[in-house]
Structure 1
Amino acid sequence: MTQQHDRELARELLAREALYLDTRQWGDWLDLYEDDAVFWVPAWRDETNLIQDPETELSFIYLRGKALLEERVRRLGSERSAAGLPLPRTVHMVTGSVIEELDPEHLLRVSSAWSSHIYVHKDNALLTYAGRYEHTLVRTADAYRIQSKKIILANDFLIAKLDFFYV
């Protein structure tokens, strides 16, 4: 694969992830992740510094391993998720992706700006979250998969429940 082709695949992956979240294609969304993937929404320590260690400091969300992502998806279907009752409509926008090779053979880091618009129909309310994504992607035979996703919330004063499909 050429470097340009790799970049196109990486951008396509991020666009698909957003689409799968918005269209509730949970199985397809999970298929984008490696089995040992990390999904992390760190909290802010203060106005300019994020926490650094999700194992010892408070995070909004910290899921280590695809099995924990699968559990979140199962909870949506079982009505055990307060964030998903009823499921809001979402629109994710990902833009300004900057791609850096970490290992020319296998790994890419993609930094992007994002926003998520969440319509909570029971409250007739439109919420918006925004921030930065930091994805680490690993190359498989013909595509990339998500090894880790760090979601940095710019507006971290949460006025609603937060779950994986909001960010």
Structure 2
Amino acid sequence: MSPIELQHAVEQFLYDQADWCDRQQWDEYLACFEPSAVFHVPQWDSEHVATTDPKREMSMIYYANRGGLEDRIFRLRTGKSAASQPMPRTLHQINNVRIRSQAQGVLQVGAKWSTHYTRQGQADCYFGEVSYEMRQSGASFSILRKHVLLLNDRINAVLDFYHL
């Protein structure tokens, strides 16, 4: 795959993942993640420094593997998540996608993102940066690690994976 084709394929994968989340197509969304995939949203330690070790420092969200996402989605599907009832409508936007490195079929990818959401008449937006470690598998990819840096100063709702 040429660098341009690889860039396009990575972007399309990330756009698909965002779209599946917006459409609440949870099976397709989950399929983007390896079983051992880490999902991490650190807290801010100071004005410009985020925590780095989710096992020793505070995080807004930390799933050590895909099982954490599977559990959240199970609770969403069964109505056992009071904080997510009713589910908000979301619109994810991904931009400035950059392939930072590639070695032995594993890509380090960075991007900027924003998520607009509305729930019960309240609209808001989350935004930030995200880095991925992704495994190339033929013409597609799977996520090994998703690290989300939330840049909002205020969070006006219960933060969940679908906001990011």
TM-score range, shorter chain: over 0.9
Output the amino acid matched with 2:152: N
**Residues 9-48 of structure 1 mapped to structure 2, 5 A cutoff:** 9-48=9-48
Taking structure 1 as the reference length, the TM-score comes to: 0.94
Task: Determine whether 1:91 maps to 2:91.
Answer: yes
Equivalence for 1:116: 115
The CA deviation string for residues 54-75 of structure 1, in whole angstroms up to 9 with x for no partner, is 0011100000111221111001
Gaps of 5+ in 2: none
Structure 1 segments of 4+ aligned residues over 4 angstroms from their partners: none
RMSD: 1.1
Output the amino acid matched with 2:36: D
Output the amino acid matched with 2:105: H
Taking structure 2 as the reference length, the TM-score comes to: 0.95
Secondary structure at 1:73 match in 2? helix
Query: 1:20–1:26: 8 Å Cα contact kept in structure 2?
Result: yes
Secondary structure at 1:134 match in 2? strand
Q: CA deviation at 1:129?
A: 0.5
Equivalence for 2:129: 132
| Distance across 1 between alignment mates of 2:153 and 2:33 | 25
Q: CA deviation at 1:156?
A: 4.1
- From the two aligned structures, give the one with the greater strand fraction: 2
Query: 2:9–2:139: 8 Å Cα contact kept in structure 1?
Result: no
